Amino acid sequence: MLLERINEPSDLRKLTINELEALSKEIRERIIEVVSKNGGHLASNLGIVELTLAIHRVFNSPTDQIVWDVGHQSYTHKLITGRQKEFDTLRKFNGLSGFPKISESIHDSFNTGHSSTSISVAQGLALAKEQLQLPGKTIAVIGDGAMTGGMSFEALNYIGHRKSNVVVILNDNEMSISPNVGAMAMYLHRLRLEPAYTTPKDYLSKVLKNIPGFGTRLYNVLSRIEGSFKYLLTPGMIFEELGFKYIGPVDGYNFEVLERALVRAKDRQGPVLVHVLTQKGRGYKPAQEQSNKFHGIGPFEIETGNTKKSVDSPPTYTEIFGNTICKLANDNKSIIAITAAMKEGTGLTKFANEFPSRFYDVGIAEQHAVTIAAALAKSGLKPFVAIYSTFLQRAYDQIVHDVALTNQPVVFCLDRAGLVGEDGPTHHGCLDISYMRSIPNMQVMAPRDEVELALMLEYASKQNTPVAIRYPRGYATGTKDEPSSRQPIQTGKSEVLKDGKDLIFIPLGASCSDAYKVIDELEKNSNISVKLINPRFVKPFDEEMLSDIIASKLPIVTLEDSVLAGGFGSMLAEKLIDAQATNRLLRFGLPDSFVPHGSLKELKTMLGLNCQSIVNKITEWIKI
Ligand SMILES: Cc1ncc(C[n+]2csc(CCOP(=O)(O)OP(=O)(O)O)c2C)c(N)n1
């Protein structure tokens, strides 16, 4: 096995091209084997094996610092930077992270997980090298999808201005998770296809200048002409105009060509962009053919590529959202759906097929998504913005300044709220309650199950204010309740699910399922009679219910899948203090620390949020 001989990147330099090709095959097999068991980001990793090896042969990590955008493509990098023995633990509790982590290796120069940060990080590291007189280059490896994010353009702009010593390696596989969108994607596509664009500028200029008599003058005149001829002379002109030396497009699977391009980039002072053409899922047929299914995938069977989903599992919250918005959009022609490069992930594929003219995928551009939604709402339309809780953090100012300040009725559908499990701290959606509830005009809701999610979406479609609905990753409860059996959603109204005389339990949203189990234990084993209230709204909070619970003087327990700081329980604490209530309050939720990756079960146990820990704590607390 060649891979076993690679303990650090410098070992790669001892290999021949033939050996590198054999090593690439071994690495692909290892990645497929581990991801088929642990789940993970397969297609992006299979596409970038050769490029990663070439980068590590040409550059000298950690003196040269490599930043992986999003970081979901860093498995090869992990395997050749001393982590192959632990690679089996990828994404497991206490195991290797699926993303680069400073704490994991000296070769991980920065943590990533959210898109489009790498070029900024690379410039920051380059500026630090300037300030501290440190040797080495900084390299951002960024996909064409991540290149659509606003931060990437901000960084290119400032790097061009400062002429910073940064190498940007654009890993262009023409895919984000779905096919990439936008004018930049189209430009990259043209660079790929049209031979004129790919003709090296140096070669063309040499040919022209060699025309006897007037060659040099002809070259100078043509270079000044705006339009296509200038493009012909300058492949990658957009990047050149921004102050980068453009090298490419380069075949991402030809070691010799790749390394030649990278050496040129390394030897050059100032900003360089190397445009590398790759293919998602390379070397594994199912992932090549269905790269979006294999972008991020759970355990699967290697022979067929089939995932191990049990047949009779309930629908996911995402599916419920996707079906409900289609139903609502049938009746309400003003409904528009917006996603930031997450059509499949947020459940909008069906909507995009049924209502293509009312669907916008803006690329990895959450800020843009929110602000166009504000303007659509101002014009009388009803935008639903579906973004994972963690990625919406990026658009906070747009929510405040463009949506809430003028009270635009945008509906925010926050999927993956709460702990998400194996993707870890960059992807947990733990802050949304705190950051949403502090915004004036915003209604904030969390459904206890899939029936309530559908009801809340319908309710939100009729509101004249912004509304945020947060729901978790994964399967819903499987309830067979008819929507008509539920109390209709009314602004700021909770529902009592069960009466009791010793304790009031108020779990937020999907935590209600856990609360039922806890109550069962408390009533059976400790004889504690519990009243269960589903708050439905974090904001506006049910003032009538508040008066009732204050009057009862009963102890109150809250449970939420979000941080305690500024969360739901903390809001109730504020209300109780303001009303000078005498109720005692015990809050369960996420701590003031970043929660690592692992299965939900392991994480909840670690945090004291599994059923038994909650029962034990309540039983002790109520005695005091
Ligand atoms: C801010 C943010 N929004 C959305 C995502 C979800 N996401 C992860 S990877 C990805 C696509 C990245 O495409 P690209 O950069 O081309 O890399 P590839 O997977 O094609 O190699 C998206 C949308 C994210 N990580 N961060």
Q: Is 366 a catalytic residue?
A: yes
Nearest atom (ligand 1) to Cα of 43: 19
- Whole-angstrom distance, CA of residue 71 vs CA of residue 93: 18
The two structure tokens encoding residue 117: 């940060």
Q: How confident is the model at residue 486 (pLDDT cuts 50, 70, 90)?
A: very high
- Are 165 and 17 within one domain? yes
CB 143 within 8 A of CB 173: yes
- Whole-angstrom distance, CA of residue 553 vs CA of residue 557: 13
200 pLDDT more than 80: no
Task: Determine, yes or no, domain membership for 62.
Answer: yes
- Whole-angstrom distance, CA of residue 104 vs CA of residue 607: 22
Q: Is 394 a catalytic residue?
A: yes
Nearest atom (ligand 1) to Cα of 69: 15
312 pLDDT more than 60: yes
Task: Determine, yes or no, domain membership for 308.
Answer: no
- Whole-angstrom distance, CA of residue 337 vs CA of residue 319: 15
Q: Rounded to the nearest whole angstrom, what is the distance from the C-alpha of residue 216 to the centroid of ligand 1? A: 45
From the list 30, 57, 83, 394, the catalytic residue is: 394
232 pLDDT more than 60: no
- The finding on whether 12 has its CB within 6 A of some atom of ligand 1 is no
Task: Determine, yes or no, domain membership for 373.
Answer: yes
282 pLDDT more than 70: yes
Q: What is the pLDDT of residue 197?
A: 44
Mean pLDDT of 501-522: 97
Mean pLDDT of 61-82: 98
Q: What Rg value do the Cα atoms of the chain yield, rounded?
A: 27
- Are 184 and 63 within one domain? yes
- The finding on whether 76 has its CB within 6 A of some atom of ligand 1 is no
Q: Given ligand 1 and candidates 44, 51, 111, 115, which is best to mutate, with the most ligand atoms within 8 Å of its CB?
A: 115
In terms of DSSP H, where are the helices of 292-343? 317-331
Q: What is the pLDDT of residue 218?
A: 66
- Are 477 and 554 within one domain? no
Residue of minimum CA distance from atom 25 in ligand 1: 114
- Whole-angstrom distance, CA of residue 50 vs CA of residue 453: 45
- The finding on whether 145 has its CB within 6 A of some atom of ligand 1 is yes
240 pLDDT more than 60: yes
- Are 430 and 447 within one domain? yes
Nearest atom (ligand 1) to Cα of 47: 21
Q: How confident is the model at residue 222 (pLDDT cuts 50, 70, 90)?
A: low
Task: Determine, yes or no, domain membership for 297.
Answer: no
Nearest atom (ligand 1) to Cα of 116: 1
**Global pTM?**
0.94
Q: Is 280 a catalytic residue?
A: yes
Check which CATH number belongs to the domain holding 122 and give it: 3.40.50.970
Q: Rounded to the nearest whole angstrom, what is the distance from the C-alpha of residue 323 to the centroid of ligand 1? A: 24
- The finding on whether 175 has its CB within 6 A of some atom of ligand 1 is yes
- Are 178 and 51 within one domain? yes
Q: What is the pLDDT of residue 193?
A: 78
CB 566 within 8 A of CB 433: yes
- The finding on whether 114 has its CB within 6 A of some atom of ligand 1 is yes
CB 492 within 8 A of CB 540: yes
- Are 113 and 138 within one domain? yes
Cis upstream peptide for 409 (omega within 30°): no
Q: Rounded to the nearest whole angstrom, what is the distance from the C-alpha of residue 342 to the centroid of ligand 1? A: 9
510 pLDDT more than 80: yes
462 pLDDT more than 60: yes
Tally of domains within the chain: 4
Nearest atom (ligand 1) to Cα of 394: 1
Q: Rounded to the nearest whole angstrom, what is the distance from the C-alpha of residue 596 to the centroid of ligand 1? A: 20
- The finding on whether 165 has its CB within 6 A of some atom of ligand 1 is no
- The finding on whether 72 has its CB within 6 A of some atom of ligand 1 is yes
Task: Determine, yes or no, domain membership for 307.
Answer: no
Instruction: Convert the pLDDT of each residue in 515-571 to its tens digit.
Output: 999 999 999 999 999 999 999 999 999 999 999 999 999 999 999 999 999 999 999
- The finding on whether 362 has its CB within 6 A of some atom of ligand 1 is no
Q: How confident is the model at residue 213 (pLDDT cuts 50, 70, 90)?
A: confident
Residue of minimum CA distance from atom 21 in ligand 1: 44
140 pLDDT more than 80: yes
End-to-end CA distance of the chain: give it in Å, rounded.
63
Nearest atom (ligand 1) to Cα of 180: 16
- Are 278 and 147 within one domain? yes
- The finding on whether 185 has its CB within 6 A of some atom of ligand 1 is no
Mean pLDDT of 23-39: 98
From the list 28, 280, 382, 539, the catalytic residue is: 280
Residue of minimum CA distance from atom 17 in ligand 1: 143
Cβ-based neighbours of 172, under 8 Å, separated by 6 or more = 143, 144, 188, 192, 249, 275, 276, 277, 278
- Are 224 and 352 within one domain? no
196 pLDDT more than 90: no
Check which CATH number belongs to the domain holding 546 and give it: 3.40.50.920
Q: What is the pLDDT of residue 228?
A: 54
Per-chain mean pLDDT for the chain: 94
- The finding on whether 79 has its CB within 6 A of some atom of ligand 1 is no
Q: Are strands 335-339 and 272-277 parallel, antiparallel or unpaired?
A: unpaired
Q: Rounded to the nearest whole angstrom, what is the distance from the C-alpha of residue 392 to the centroid of ligand 1? A: 14
- Are 239 and 102 within one domain? yes
Instruction: Convert the pLDDT of each residue in 383-430 to its tens digit.
Output: 999 999 999 999 999 999 999 999 999 999 999 999 999 999 999 999
Cβ-based neighbours of 603, under 8 Å, separated by 6 or more = 93, 419, 421, 595, 596, 609
- Are 254 and 108 within one domain? yes
Residue of minimum CA distance from atom 19 in ligand 1: 44
- Whole-angstrom distance, CA of residue 381 vs CA of residue 378: 7
In terms of DSSP H, where are the helices of 311-445? 317-331, 349-354, 366-378, 389-392, 396-398, 432-437
Q: What is the pLDDT of residue 379?
A: 98
Domain boundary among 271, 289, 307: 289
- The finding on whether 561 has its CB within 6 A of some atom of ligand 1 is no
From the list 259, 344, 366, 422, the catalytic residue is: 366
- The finding on whether 368 has its CB within 6 A of some atom of ligand 1 is no
- The finding on whether 146 has its CB within 6 A of some atom of ligand 1 is yes
- The finding on whether 42 has its CB within 6 A of some atom of ligand 1 is no
- Whole-angstrom distance, CA of residue 200 vs CA of residue 246: 10
- Whole-angstrom distance, CA of residue 360 vs CA of residue 342: 11
Q: 222: domain range? A: 200-234
The two structure tokens encoding residue 19: 């050996």
Q: Specify the 3-state DSSP secondary structure of 415.
A: strand
Q: What is the pLDDT of residue 116?
A: 98
Q: What is the pLDDT of residue 209?
A: 72
DSSP state, residue 526: S
Instruction: Convert the pLDDT of each residue in 34-49 to its tens digit.
Output: 999 999 999 999 999 9
- Are 89 and 57 within one domain? yes
- Are 222 and 279 within one domain? no
How many helices (H) and strands (E) would you count in the chain? 26, 17
Q: Rounded to the nearest whole angstrom, what is the distance from the C-alpha of residue 17 to the centroid of ligand 1? A: 31
Task: Determine, yes or no, domain membership for 301.
Answer: no
Q: Given ligand 1 and candidates 69, 70, 169, 189, which is best to mutate, with the most ligand atoms within 8 Å of its CB?
A: 70
- The finding on whether 364 has its CB within 6 A of some atom of ligand 1 is yes
Task: Determine, yes or no, domain membership for 296.
Answer: no
Task: Determine, yes or no, domain membership for 302.
Answer: no
Domain boundary among 485, 504, 538: 485
**111, 513, 562, 602 from 517: Cα distances, Å:** 37, 7, 19, 18
